[in-house]
Amino acid sequence: MTVQRAPYKLIGGVHVPEHKQSSTQSPIKPLALAKRLIIPMLQHIGEEAKPIVKIGEHVLKGQKIGEVRAFVATPVHATTSGTVVDIGLYPVDHPSQLDALCVVIEADGKDEWAAHTGIKDYHLAEAQTLLAIIREAGIAGMGGAGFPTGSKLQVKQQTPVDIVVINAMECEPYITADDLLMRERATEIVEGANIVKQILGAKKIIIGIEDNKPQAINAMQQASQSQAHIQVMSCQSKYPSGAARQTVYILTGRETPANGRTTDVGVFCLNVGTAAAIYRAVVHGEPSLSRITTVTGLGVQQAANYDVPFGTPIEHLLNQAQAQWSKISRLIVGGPMMGYSLPQVQIPVVKTTNCIIAATLEDFPPPPPEQACIRCGDCAQVCPVQLLPQQLLWFSKSAEFDKAEQYHLDDCIECGACAYVCPSSIPLVQYYRYAKGEIATQKQEAEKAERARLRFEAHTSRLAQEEADKEARRQAREQAAAQAREEAAQQAALASQQGAAPPAKDSKALMIAAATARSNLKKAEKRLLAAQQAGEDTSALLAEIEQLKAEVKKYE
Ligand code: SF4
Ligand code: SF4
């Protein structure tokens, strides 16, 4: 079977030095187990899991230790057997560099599994059964921000998904985890993709691989031969062809709308590592416990890809790769284009940790100082989203955030291609991140103000309604009293005409009339006192009081 060339080309993009050689010289290496595993209860987008184990409890490998209720969330499992020695806040692999809740396990060295079984013949299983297994296995996307895969598969789609795309582009320099995974576990990836296709009822699977990975292309071809619904496609190696929207466009020509998802154009996109994790969960009953992580950079002597249990401290991983600590100037998680610096080495590997670069000054010399924009337009030439990076820079720097929004700052995927080619060494993405952060804060503030305004209006309207109700009740009382007086007077007149005795003083109508007369007298006396204190004319009030007194007397 010949490899098909992807029918479309990446818009914009840059050719960057690959630096992939050193970590692809050996097969995936197993990792000697760390003594302590720090397992974060949140390792991806979504809600944090709640620990369901206690300090001192012995746990087995694969045992669930964190449970979730939210839709966008995944449970967390022990990645080896041992004893829970702490549950608390620890630094984690996240750009925010905030601490997060972790369960710390002291490994017993046995790596003893909890009981688990899979479904060998998954073709016969219902979609709901497969979905439940994927959710319960705690699988999250291993290529990007790590959206929980079970949730992603369950999102109701407006457009039916007909294509499953396996994103094997891996276009960032230095990262080779997917490349090695494809070379060594191609069948697992293909089977994982078939499971997803079955769940979604899709028609075909496209596996997209950059042409700088010939061994991976060959392995994927071998694994999918005789499966007519699978197409392996190669495309030009150009950054950022691995961004989901760009991958889908290159392979299918379908353009994902701004602020939309690839499923809006009928394509479900997943990373090769995620597909392999789905296979292991469904067929072997194994939760998501480890991933392939590239360890590279001139700061390690054993650059390679390691199979790393989640929770392994990065320091342990780097020591296994024979880190030359004195040479390392910077530790980067992810690639040099979209990754970020790690503040310390005790941070654990999580589901999204695809690469650690132990960088020396030779790898990444300090950037030259930022210069003024010379309006060369190079940045616009390479933007894969066809934005105007120079304008976005201007609006971000001058805090004209509304204009930055009008120029679609939101669509920027922060790939850094513009900054890479900028002759003035302007860290463009940093400006965009700043502007996006400010816009998000302003939106939050505006929403908060709107909520406060609505609350105030509701409160004012409630008070006005209460006042109106009170007035209505007062008028009703007055009407009832007037009616009672009227009725009492009529009864008295009737009795006098008939020579009968007046109605009994305790008749209800009479009592109400008497009470009303007394109340009216009291109110008039109060008004009189106030008028006297104010030095006003009281003659009319005095006359009214005399009348009321006579009325009160009538009922005595
Ligand atoms: S590449 Fe740099 S210098 Fe050239 S227009 Fe863009 S921001 Fe300005
Ligand atoms: S970082 Fe944003 S503006 Fe720059 S090239 Fe990438 S998508 Fe375009």
Digit-coded pLDDT (tens) for 511-521: 887 888 888 89
Are residue 408 and residue 472 in the same domain, yes or no? Answer: yes
Whether 157 shows a pLDDT value over 90: the answer reads no
Distance (angstroms) between ligand 2 centre and the Cα of 415 equals: 5
Can you tell me the distance from the alpha carbon of 457 to that of 435, in angstroms, rounded to the nearest whole number? Answer: 33
Are residue 448 and residue 519 in the same domain, yes or no? Answer: no
With a CB cutoff of 8 Å and minimum separation 6, the contacts of 398 are: none
Whether 504 shows a pLDDT value over 80: the answer reads no
Are residue 497 and residue 509 in the same domain, yes or no? Answer: no
For ligand 1, is residue 373 a contact (CB within 6 Å)? yes
Percent of the chain with pLDDT over 90: 74
Residues 19-77 have pLDDT tens digits of: 999 999 999 999 999 999 999 999 888 889 999 999 999 999 999 999 998 888 999 99
Q: Looking at the whole model, is its pTM more than 0.85?
A: no
Domain count, the chain: 3
List the single range of 358-362, 509-513, 515-519, 549-553 with lowest mean pLDDT: 509-513
The values of phi and psi at residue 82, to 5°, are 165, -160
Are residue 259 and residue 343 in the same domain, yes or no? Answer: yes
Can you tell me the distance from the alpha carbon of 451 to that of 432, in angstroms, rounded to the nearest whole number? Answer: 28
Q: Which of 376, 381, 382 should be mutated for ligand 1, with most atoms under 8 A from CB?
A: 376
Are residue 60 and residue 141 in the same domain, yes or no? Answer: yes
Are residue 383 and residue 398 in the same domain, yes or no? Answer: yes
Mean pLDDT of 415-430: 96
More confident residue, 297 or 491: 297
Are residue 47 and residue 150 in the same domain, yes or no? Answer: yes
Which one-letter DSSP state was computed for residue 113?
A: B
Are residue 495 and residue 511 in the same domain, yes or no? Answer: no
What pLDDT score was predicted for residue 194?
A: 98
Two structure tokens written together for 235: 């495309």
Which ligand 1 atom sits nearest the alpha carbon of residue 418? 1
Distance (angstroms) between ligand 2 centre and the Cα of 276 equals: 31
Domain finish residue from 313, 340, 359? 359
CATH of the domain at 89: 3.40.50.11540
Q: Which of 11, 412, 421 should be mutated for ligand 2, with most atoms under 8 A from CB?
A: 412
What pLDDT score was predicted for residue 105?
A: 98
Two structure tokens written together for 309: 């249990």
For ligand 1, is residue 72 a contact (CB within 6 Å)? no
What pLDDT score was predicted for residue 358?
A: 97
**242 confidence band (pLDDT: 50, 70, 90):** very high
- Its domain, for residue 65, covers 4-359
Two structure tokens written together for 486: 């009227």
**Euclidean distance between the first and the last CA atom of the chain, given in angstroms as a whole number:** 114
Q: Which of 397, 426, 431 should be mutated for ligand 1, with most atoms under 8 A from CB?
A: 426
Whether 495 shows a pLDDT value over 80: the answer reads no
What pLDDT score was predicted for residue 512?
A: 80
Residue in this structure with the two tokens 């990792």, named with its chain if needed: 31
Q: Which of 390, 391, 412, 421 should be mutated for ligand 1, with most atoms under 8 A from CB?
A: 390
Which ligand 2 atom sits nearest the alpha carbon of residue 411? 7
Domain finish residue from 359, 383, 404? 359
Distance (angstroms) between ligand 1 centre and the Cα of 388 equals: 10
**365 confidence band (pLDDT: 50, 70, 90):** very high
With a CB cutoff of 8 Å and minimum separation 6, the contacts of 104 are: 36, 37, 38, 39, 84, 85, 86, 87, 88, 90
Are residue 262 and residue 322 in the same domain, yes or no? Answer: yes
For ligand 1, is residue 109 a contact (CB within 6 Å)? no
Residue nearest ligand 2's atom 7 by CA: 412
Segments in 285-350 forming alpha helices (H): 314-320
Distance (angstroms) between ligand 1 centre and the Cα of 547 equals: 93
Are residue 344 and residue 493 in the same domain, yes or no? Answer: no
**146 confidence band (pLDDT: 50, 70, 90):** confident
For ligand 1, is residue 393 a contact (CB within 6 Å)? yes
Two structure tokens written together for 72: 């966008």
What pLDDT score was predicted for residue 95?
A: 64
Residue nearest ligand 1's atom 2 by CA: 422
* Residues in the ligand 2 pocket, defined by CB under 6 Å: 382-385, 387, 389, 412-418, 428-429
Two structure tokens written together for 349: 């590997």
Residues 267-290 have pLDDT tens digits of: 999 999 999 999 999 999 999 999
Are residue 395 and residue 338 in the same domain, yes or no? Answer: no
Cross-strand pairs, 88: 102
What pLDDT score was predicted for residue 507?
A: 67
Distance (angstroms) between ligand 1 centre and the Cα of 144 equals: 28
More confident residue, 506 or 286: 286
Residues 167-187 have pLDDT tens digits of: 999 999 999 999 999 999 999
What pLDDT score was predicted for residue 536?
A: 84
Whether 533 shows a pLDDT value over 90: the answer reads no
Are residue 61 and residue 75 in the same domain, yes or no? Answer: yes
